[in-house]
Amino acid sequence: MSRKQPQEQLSEAEQKYRTLVEQIPGVVYVSPINDTTKVAYISPQLQQLLGIAPEDWNFGFFNSWLDYTHPEDRDRVWQAVNTTIATGEPFSVEYRMIRRDGRIIWVRDQANLVLGIDGETQVLQGLVFDISDRKQVEAALQESEARSRAILEDQTELIARGLPDGTFTFVNEAYCRFFGLERDKIIGQHYEPVVFEEDRERVFSLVNSISLENPVITIENRVVACQGVRWTQWIVRGIFDDRGAIVELQSVGRDITDRKLVEQALSENEQKFRAIFNQTIQFMGLLQPNGIVLEVNQTALDFAGINREEVVGKPFWEAKWWTISLETQEQLKTAIAAAANGESIRYEIDIVGRDGQAIAIDFSLRPILDETGRVTLLISEVRDITEYKVALQERHKAEEALRSSQDFLQKVANTVPHILYLFDLLKGTSIYLNEKSVTILGYSPEEFCNADPQWFMNCFHPDDRHLCYDIPSRFVNLKDNEVLSTEYRFRHKNGEWCWLNTREVVFARDANGTPTQILGSVEDINTRKEAEVMLRQQAEGERLITEVTQQIRQSLNLEEVLNTTVNSIRQCLGSDSVAIYQLESDGSGNFAAESLSDNYPQRLELTMHPFSLNQDFSYYYQGLPKVFHDIQESDFSADLFELLRLYQIKAAVIVPILNGEHLWGLLIAHQCAAPRYWQAFEVNLLQQLASQVAIAIHQSVLYQQVQAANEELQRLATLDGLTQIANRRRFDEYLEAEWQRLKREQLSLSLILLDVDFFKLYNDTYGHLGGDDCLRQLASALKNIIKRPADLIARYGGEEFAIILPNTEIQGAICVAQTVRQGVRDLAIPHAQSRVCDRVTVSLGVVSIVPNAGISPPDLINAADKALYVAKQQGRNRVHAVSVIIPS
């Protein structure tokens, strides 16, 4: 059988990359120029383009292709082919073709003239795309210019029209947005500035090539857009007059930057993959299913000491790789045949190298299938595992020696009271633990060694889980014999958290000195940690007692003291709720203060607490606390259990607050989330704080009593005993204060002085008791008339009264005075000896001024007194007013 198959006429590159070529969305062809020669290659996409299977294609490539080319385009296509053959320039033509089903399609044919495998024969290598959709769009655009213009403005494509010299006559909005330019600054300008400088010559040349024979061109070039340099694709069409002269250029463009970046990335990736293929440490080859070598990487060539020509194109088992026996050759043939049937093959074989030394290699074959499931290629991979097998044998010997001493070491390790372990930093798992892991954490050594790293990480407390991140970095700078000590919480197999202390040293390093294994010991420090926590809590309790005591000494505000106390207790104990409940004599009460964790409702508005119902308070009167570690274990009634459930109480401590022998209330700490075992020091802390709260209550009661007494004394000191209105002392204080305020604000202040007419005759007639009663009636009448909060009525002395009217001008003061005069008259108090009326009347002097630095309150009083004197002189039972006082 000939060693060359018919398909070997294709180039080596085409054979290797056929799988990739057949994924391209177009028809790929390779054809010698001689049209009598059979087609070298045409891709299966021919079926999709023309409805013809590649195997049904006629051998005469150009004649067959022209048979399916539209008659009107055949000459143009053939002329373009001849031009390419003659000049060597790339071939690029758009023309129509007739599918087998009779449908006409537009295609774009691009090809290059290259040399064949023999280096002499010229081959046309090309790619044909179906562009019917684009052609249909172009035809539709030409149908209606008016309709197109309206549509163009809404297109995302970049649309422009211009004169043959490159001057713009129209651009759509998308074009303006893309280049960040205003339309009126584009129209009438040349397109040169927007073309990237390095692409201008090529773009101008292509645009200038537009003619009747070549009316449409496609250009891909870079432009200077508002977002920077971008790649664009333009379809430029020439519009011709009846004489064939170009009258207009129409361009449709789109941003293809993303596609260009992908193409660039693909090109770079191809280069990278080829570099990887040639530089990988494994020996790799590409075979045909029949075992013929298509490609081999440089690593394999260097290892075998041969060149590419010695193996490529030859059966794999005949290539001069190494010295192999006939038996090995048959084994390779069998393996390749199995791989050609779709099997993946891998085995180890021993060969003799060029230097006569035995070599152990790991050999594998992997089939590559096309979309029909047919094997098209075989990838061979070979690794030299000679050193590995030698090392493996040495390792087995070392492991056997290690196992011989493990029993002794295991017995020693199991007598240590701590967990001993060996941790492999490369694998991220423990490779040895002694039996103490069961005693301390409940897990067997096997459970730890076989554990998933994620499970191991989840066993760490969330607050300590950071210790599991990038474990090797913790030991990079650790010197030999240097101990790294770490404390953390780890979940016991029973679910509880255990405090552990780990002491670790570097056990092994690699050739670079990087730690690879860690030897560690783990100590259970739960007891020590619990003692530390208790000491901290006790210290915090003592600090809290001192803080509350200082608060009581510094503040007489009971509410403030109680709120500080409950907040401090809850933070110190870490409980869900702390409350102070004040009891009434009938057993009811109210929440005086409360501090709650999040998600628990306030109960300050409630008037009862479960622990105040149906309780024997005699226990509390003795100052004794009640402690409930788990409410469910108590012998409460069903009603009380229901109330406790409503209050979300699972555990509690109740401490009485005694004010002397009186049970003032209860200090209560609640645990709502779960039962809690209360420590003795916690109960003692609450008792001490309850005593401090009792002191604060006692101080508050005394303070309130003193405040009430002081307020009563102040009231008595400023009231007239007979009339129960302000006395002269209060009058002087208030006048001075309002004087200073209104002087700052520059507002009016009015004063009315009034005197009972012929009061001495009244006393002589009705007696002093009658006179006192008359004054009381006048004072009551004044209070009914003068009702503004800022106004003040005072008994100025004897039968004389005064009225201070802040923020009141003279007219307002006169109005008030007249109302007072009439109000007294309307009392109709008989006065037989009065010389102006048969009933009691008053005379009033009114003065008003804006206070200033030139006068003083006594000046205002003197002015009002003079006005009162004038009122009396003018016949009494009247008002006399003065609006301006001039300082003397």
Residues with catalytic roles: 799
DSSP string, 428-486: TEEEEE-THHHHHHS--HHHHHT--HHHHHHTB-GGGGGGGTTGGGGTTTPPTT--EEE
3-state SS, one letter per residue, for 77-94: HHHHHHHHHHHCCCEEEE
What ranges in 666-791 are assigned the alpha helix state H?
680-718, 728-745, 759-785
How far apart (Å, rounded) are the C-alpha atoms in residues 572 and 543? 10
What ranges in 581-668 are assigned the alpha helix state H?
618-621, 638-646
- For residue 236, give the DSSP letter: E
CB neighbour class for 170 (10 Å; exposed up to 12, middle 13-18, buried from 19): middle
Question: Which pair of tokens denotes residue 186?
Answer: 């584009």
Q: Answer left, alpha or beta for residue 522, where phi above 0 means left and psi between -120 and 50 means alpha.
A: beta
Say if CB 325 and CB 355 are below 8 A apart.
no
Question: Which pair of tokens denotes residue 172?
Answer: 């759509």
How far apart (Å, rounded) are the C-alpha atoms in residues 91 and 111? 5
CB neighbour class for 648 (10 Å; exposed up to 12, middle 13-18, buried from 19): middle
How far apart (Å, rounded) are the C-alpha atoms in residues 610 and 577? 14
Q: CA-CA distances (angstroms) from residue 210 to 203, 204, 265? A: 12, 11, 33
The residue type of 636 is F
Say if CB 110 and CB 91 are below 8 A apart.
yes
Q: CA-CA distances (angstroms) from residue 244 to 238, 241, 248, 296? A: 10, 5, 12, 58
Pairing of strands 419-424, 515-524: antiparallel
Please name the helix (run of DSSP H) or strand (run of DSSP E) that holds residue 174, with its range, or none. Answer: helix 173-179
End-to-end CA distance of the chain: 147
Please name the helix (run of DSSP H) or strand (run of DSSP E) that holds residue 526, with its range, or none. Answer: helix 526-554
Q: Is 353 helix (H, G, I), strand (E, B) or coil?
A: coil
Please name the helix (run of DSSP H) or strand (run of DSSP E) that holds residue 865, with its range, or none. Answer: helix 857-873
CB neighbour class for 357 (10 Å; exposed up to 12, middle 13-18, buried from 19): exposed
Question: Which pair of tokens denotes residue 456?
Answer: 């191991």
Query: Strand 375-384's sheet: what is its strand order?
Result: 293-296, 283-287, 375-384, 358-369, 345-352
How far apart (Å, rounded) are the C-alpha atoms in residues 605 and 594? 11
In this structure, the dihedral spanned by the alpha carbons of residues 563, 564, 565 and 569, taken in order and rounded to 10 degrees, is 110
Q: CA-CA distances (angstroms) from residue 680 to 204, 565, 595, 691? A: 96, 19, 22, 17
